[in-house]
């Protein structure tokens, strides 16, 4: 009676993490490239999954963890105070605030 039921595609970790990536990329548009956001989301999931004993809410925790990491990266780059931010994945500089010239 211990049948393993397959998860619907909508609830698969890959699908949930892809939706999370899309949502966070929209939130951080102009700050981080979509590729950087995707990397943060999947790295967060992988890091948590390595030591997790229970996987029930792992995708939700990974989404929060990735969002926290992106916010920390945003603050560390000085975006809240104005200045330049280097998106390492894309190699682009985004200027926030006054024109640096």
* Residues forming beta bridges with residue 93, ordered by sequence position: 86
> Is the per-residue pLDDT at 1 higher than 70?
no
Determine the Cα–Cα distance for residues 18 and 84; give it in Å rounded to an integer. Answer: 28
Q: Is the pLDDT of residue 83 over 60?
A: no
User: What per-residue confidence (pLDDT) applies to 11?
Assistant: 79
Q: Which CATH class is domain 11-96?
A: mainly alpha
| Residues whose CB is less than 8 angstroms from the CB of residue 25 and which lie 6 or more positions away in sequence, other chains included | 32, 34, 37, 38
Q: Is the pTM of this model over 0.85?
A: no
Residue 28 burial class via C-beta count within 10 angstroms: exposed 0-12, middle 13-18, buried 19 and up: buried
């Amino acid at each position: 009676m211990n049948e393993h039921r397959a998860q619907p595609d909508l609830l698969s970790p890959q699908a949930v993490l892809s939706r999370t990536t899309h949502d966070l990329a929209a939130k951080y548009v102009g700050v981080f490239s979509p590729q950087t956001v995707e990397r943060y989301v999947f790295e967060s999931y992988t890091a948590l999954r390595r030591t997790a004993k229970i996987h029930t809410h792992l995708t939700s925790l990974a989404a929060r963890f990735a969002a926290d990491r992106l916010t920390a990266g945003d603050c560390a780059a000085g975006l809240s105070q104005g200045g330049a931010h280097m998106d390492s994945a894309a190699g682009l500089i985004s200027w926030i605030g006054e024109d640096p010239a």
